[in-house]
Amino acid sequence: MDWETHIERWTRTAVRLLDIRQYCAGNGTVPDRYVAHTSFFVVTTQGEARVSLSGTVYQTRSLHILHGGKEVELGFMPQGNDFACYLILYKAACESPEELESFHMSYAFTPYALLPLQEKCQAMYRLWQQATPMDKLQAQSAFLPFVYEVMRQVRTSAMETGKPNLITEAIHYIHEHYKESITAEDLAGIYSCSASYLSRLFKNQIGVGPIEYLIHVRIHRSKQFLLRSEARIQEIASSVGYADVYYFSRLFKKHTGYSPLQYRKDNRQTVQNNPLRLLESSIVSQNLTPHNENENYYQLIREGDTSMFRFSRPKFGAMMLLCTTMLLSACQAGSDTGTPASQPASTDNAVDNATVEMRMYKHLKGQTEIPVKPQHVVSLFHLGELMALGVKPVGATTFILKNPLLSDISDIADIGVPPDAEKILSLEPDLIVTTGPFAEVVEGGYEALSRIAPTIVVEQYDDPVKDVEMFGDILGKQEEAKQWNEAFAEKIVEYRKKISPFIGADDTFSILNVRPGAVFVYGDTNMGGNIIYKYLGLKPTDKVKTDVINGETWEISAEAIPDFIGDRLFLAVNEGAEEKMKEVEKLLRNSPAWKSGRIYNIDFNQFLPSDPISVEQQLDIIVNLLVDNNK
């Protein structure tokens, strides 16, 4: 099915919600057979059933989506009394039979993010049952957000291989629900993982925790409301999730350096003259809507200061340039292959595309035409990968520029966290490389980036061998990538021989990180785990293998520490964790590692990155610790 065409028809067709019904096997309301008189969605929310759609039988369990149209016959065969579903009936006012056929088409799919769809169905149903016209009207207004979420997940599933990125989905959820009370535990529950695991992924992929990012979104939206409306501060505070206007004002000043009123006064004129004033995030709603009082919002700042999110006043010239670029790009945009429209406009350094050899590159967002030999690269995440191949990007995010193991970064511009599209534009890149999560946190998302320069969204492998090979292809540095990987493989062989006399065949290894108030165990991705377990081939303890490497355990209780500790322990103690370390030390005293004196102290900040340059240096450190400790 051509999903792009189908979605485009939704954008130009007037639709009206006709009815929404809830069927439950437990109370006998599920019909055996239903012949539709109009277009519909079936959303199964609980239990299992065999549902026939136009003669095709689907084995459904919550959550499953089916769609059909007029005269399509539905059959329900619940497999248990717990089965429940919604039937949503709607009418599309189409201008041609061809377009109408699109809304009568039968299809089914299993969503990967369940809660956003279930929440929208529940809200629609509740409102539709009310008697007042205002409730009916609000139910009508809730229908299109439901359709948008269905189409978004269908399109993402069709475009991307494998399971959608959890952090990308969590970012999307935050942008849709930032007005509400959200905790790290809430987000983790939505995506069926632990709060510590989710926080780990956030910090690993965008450099900040989920609640820090939520605060950024709220502050950013409040800035937009201050500059683009006459709303009172109380109303703005409530609309971004803070019931206490005084608390909101203090938080706003903490992260911007201004009180809300002073920020509005000092920046209003710039925005009023800015033709980009209506440019919004691709997923944040522009509507000011009432907010339910949140009595627990104070917990949202518990993950620390987010002062890195301060924004400077917009530079009008660069913003004008971005506006011109985007307008030209919109006119020249390619088809749904993902090909970017044009290079950024520049009066002095315009690139003559006729002189630049281009090629198509397939990535997570489709296919994009990129230079065969890019010269001015902006990388939102992969910095060490580029530098390992002798390429210094013109811009990178604050997060990766803080890597203490990377040298000679003085000429690389800091584009911020989240990345600033205006700053990226000023660097005149000929290629932008990003991960899925970083693409989402940029104002305007992937589409805004692709209007600045050819933009590709790549995997975050956290594997130097795979990453070097991938970037060798992207940068036209295949030979350099081959040489780096061969040299790295030779180094691994050499170092295995070097440590062999000092390591017993049955020696087990663990990696422990002690932070203020928390203890974490690492697997085989970073903090030296990839080196110890993957490259050097050393053994994890059974508990580390089952619960961490093959599971999702990360944060552990102090009492569980002895279960994870092996014959040798690599220990990273964060700044400010001295008191917690005293507690941990008592539990380590009876461990094999403590008794044999084989506890190796490593620096948390040095061992967190997993790029090729960092991994090479971490490898040196680990091998030296293992050898020197046995002399």
Count the Cβ atoms, other than its own, within 10 Å of residue 601.
Answer: 10
Overall CATH class of domain 358-478? alpha beta
Structure tokens at 331: 């006119």
- Where residue 343 falls (left for φ over 0; alpha for ψ -120 to 50; beta otherwise) is beta
The answer to whether 530 and 524 have CB atoms below 8 angstroms apart is yes
Q: Where are the alpha helices (DSSP H) in 18-86?
A: none
Distances (CA, A) of 325 to 129, 183, 210, 577: 48, 38, 32, 49
- pLDDT tens-digit readout, 425-439: 999 999 999 988 888
Distance CA 359, CA 344 (A): 18
Torsion of CA 338, 207, 152, 75, to 10 degrees: 140
Q: Any idea which fold 3-162 has?
A: Jelly Rolls (2.60.120)
Give the position of tokens 């006064």.
265
Residue ranges in the chain whose pLDDT is less than 50 = 272-353
Listed in sequence order, the residues at least 6 apart from 315 whose beta carbon sits closer than 8 Å to its beta carbon are 422, 426
Overall CATH class of domain 503-629? alpha beta
Q: Where are the alpha helices (DSSP H) in 518-611?
A: 529, 542-543, 561-564, 578-588, 592-596, 604-607
Sign of the Cα torsion 277, 279, 283, 286 reads positive
Count the Cβ atoms, other than its own, within 10 Å of residue 73.
Answer: 13
Q: What is the pLDDT of residue 283?
A: 34
- pLDDT tens-digit readout, 221-274: 898 889 888 889 999 999 999 989 999 999 999 888 889 999 998 887 655 444
Listed in sequence order, the residues at least 6 apart from 249 whose beta carbon sits closer than 8 Å to its beta carbon are 233, 237, 259, 260
Q: Is 383 strand, coil or helix?
A: coil
What is the CATH code for 169-265? Answer: 1.10.10.60
Give the position of tokens 């440019």.
279
The answer to whether 103 and 69 have CB atoms below 8 angstroms apart is yes
Q: Strand 84-93's sheet: what is its strand order?
A: 14-24, 84-93, 39-46, 64-68, 107-109
Structure tokens at 373: 């030999």
Distance CA 140, CA 121 (A): 12
Listed in sequence order, the residues at least 6 apart from 448 whose beta carbon sits closer than 8 Å to its beta carbon are 279, 282, 326, 421, 442
Q: What is the secondary structure of 482-540 as a DSSP string?
A: HHHHHHHHHHHHHHHHHHGGGS-TT-EEEEEEEETTEEEE--SSSTTHIIIIIIS-PEE
Report field, pTM of the whole predicted structure over 0.85: no
Q: Where are the domains of the chain?
A: 3-162, 169-265, 358-478, 503-629
The reply to whether domains 169-265 and 358-478 share a CATH topology is no
- pLDDT tens-digit readout, 365-386: 889 999 999 999 999 999 999 9
